[in-house]
Structure 1
């Protein structure tokens, strides 16, 4: 078995996005193997893993893996490439178009791939725990055994393609709101896969968050704005499943959780910039940003100007 690692053949993410503390999209060091689970400051891991696999060499490169896993995997071609996938020695997929997506079920036996002219793939690993959670949400109970919904399937479903495209925005996304964003996307993909494979309608509660639940969740977010929050934490505060919480939170606030968290962090930053003598770097660190430059990028993207410019206009 040949495995290509980082070096002249397979490239890591760029230095600006390779830090585990800053980016939930991790370099895929072993082909078709999930990267280490991204763990929040609170110690809670993300339910999904996201990797980026890049080959820069122009000549033909071969990779292989014989390690079994229980993940469903969505692979997205970020550039035009020529890649052929073999399972048990049989060719099962030949890709070459940018934004083409491939869905594979749990891996068993020897998988091998050849790449000609380099490639760049974003890969989303959906573990069995997440698929089982989505299955239970759709059918009212957990499965009795490992769920294997697909072998190798090019993605043609429009809704699944749209969700896959959204995953590309997570590379370099804000590390505080990013985990909540990734959690939400993972759940949406898992539910869609269960719908497509099992013919299930989404069995979701139509109720709304009661006022005490809203108050508890909002207060929890306000008290922990400087930390990376995940859906599991917030859904536990609300006393709902993760799927129910995402839907009902958006009904109650008009925004998905990750967008609400980011908005509240920016509003808190504005208050500190306007009403305190804190330096910009002090505000950035108080709100959990990695550094002043990271804070400035997020603030500028949301507000339309730098923190320093915004502060000067207030005075």
Structure 2
């Protein structure tokens, strides 16, 4: 949340196993933009106000829709598996302001119903499937980064690519404050909004400047520092692996072992043994 506005994306997975023709309907309005990606081949037809506006469902086909108004109805034949990413108005406005210097006036409506083929958009969208079971501490930063990247791409598709502008001077004191804040809260779930407030930078500026200063985006830096802190704790004779895992915010020893092995190249137990 920034200024009382929700900036977080919402992700849903719509799966139907039925071989029969299924019909779903909704008359609830919302102000989100939605990216839908077909994760398997299916046959789906979308109706708005009784009029057919889209028929598709090939694997990896993408559909963009703007704020939903009125009665929407869809029919699905032979089951389906759709990933749907909802981007709130505040996030789109933030991305537009970052790209062009100011948000557009009023409610933003980038798209009605638009099938789209865009390599960057598809790559970002598919990455959201990896958020199932993501790291509970560094994960919020990762999800925020994906949401910003997707929002910026949607703004580019709707308004064109902005020309490069603005001050690119590295804000070292601000980044140093963020690094210190991360170190002091290494076991807490940290999001980009929180880190950007510490830095006094926008979320997009924070990501760019943080990576320039540290060589890593915030979520990767947080994970790296947690593993380094874990190594310090594992060197203590009175520490246990499960205790270290829980002290650093990992939800289980198994999860800790998986992340530690990815960074250290071996399990916490083997690494600990190698130190003595």
The answer, yes or no, to whether TM exceeds 0.5 is yes
1:90 equivalent in alignment to 2:45: no
Separation in 1, partners of 2:154, 2:112? 13
Partner of 1:29 in structure 2?
A: none
Instruction: Give the root-mean-square deviation of aligned CA atoms.
Output: 1.9
1:87–1:292 Cα change, 3 Å:
same
Matched, 1:154 2:86: no
**1:32 alignment partner in structure 2:** none
Q: Secondary structure at the match of 1:99?
A: coil
Deviation at residue 286 of structure 1 after TM alignment: 0.4
Aligned pairs for 1:188-227 within 5 A? 188-201=149-162, 205-227=166-188
- 1:208, 1:251 within 8 Å by CA — same for their partners in 2? no
Q: 1:109–1:80: structure 2 CA closer, same or farther, 3 Å change rule?
A: same
Return the offset for 1:138: 2.0
Confirm or deny: 8 A CA contact 1:299 1:307 kept in the other structure: yes
1:79 Cα deviation (Å)?
2.0
Task: Structure 1 unaligned segments of length 5 or more: list them.
Answer: 1-38
Tell me the residue number matched to 1:16.
none
Which has the larger helix fraction?
A: 2
Which of 102, 121, 127 does residue 88 from structure 2 map onto? 127
Gaps of 5+ in 2: none
Q: How far apart, CA to CA, are the structure 2 residues paired with 1:84 and 1:77?
A: 13
CA distance in 2, matches of 1:166, 1:193: 16
SS at match of 1:275: coil
Local SS of the residue matching 2:59 = coil
Equivalent in the alignment of 1:66 = 27
Contact 2:121–2:150 (CA under 8 A) maintained in structure 1: yes
Q: 1:276 to 1:211 in 2, by over 3 A?
A: farther
Question: What is the alpha-carbon distance in structure 2 between the residues aligned to residue 55 and residue 237 of structure 1?
Answer: 44
1:52 maps to 2:13: yes
| Separation (CA, whole Å) in 2 of partners of 1:202 and 1:238 | 25
Alignment length, in residue pairs? Answer: 273
1:164 corresponds, among 94, 114, 125, to 125
- Does residue 115 of the first structure (1) align with residue 76 of the second (2)? yes
| Deviation at residue 133 of structure 1 after TM alignment | 0.9
Alignment TM-score, normalising by the size of structure 1: 0.81
Q: Give distance in 2, aligned partners of 1:276 and 1:147.
A: 58
Aligned partner of 1:136 in structure 2 is 97
- Cα 1:105–1:45 change in 2 (3 A) is closer
Aligned residue for 1:84, secondary structure, equals strand
SS class of match (2:235):
helix
Question: Conserved in 2, the CA contact under 8 Å of 1:46 and 1:230?
Answer: no
**Contact 2:171–2:209 (CA<8 Å) still a contact in 1?**
no
Question: Once the 2 structures are TM-superposed, how far is the Cα of residue 88 of structure 1 from its aligned partner?
Answer: 1.5
> 2: CA distance between counterparts of 1:147 and 1:284?
44
Q: Does the alignment pair 1:267 with 2:221? A: no
Question: Aligned equivalents of 1:51 and 1:204: distance in 2?
Answer: 36
Separation in structure 2 between the aligned mates of residue 273 and residue 123 of structure 1, nearest angstrom: 41
Using the size of structure 2 for normalisation, the TM-score is 0.92
In 2, Cα distance between equivalents of 1:92 and 1:176: 41
* Alpha-carbon shift at residue 157 of structure 1 (Å): 1.9
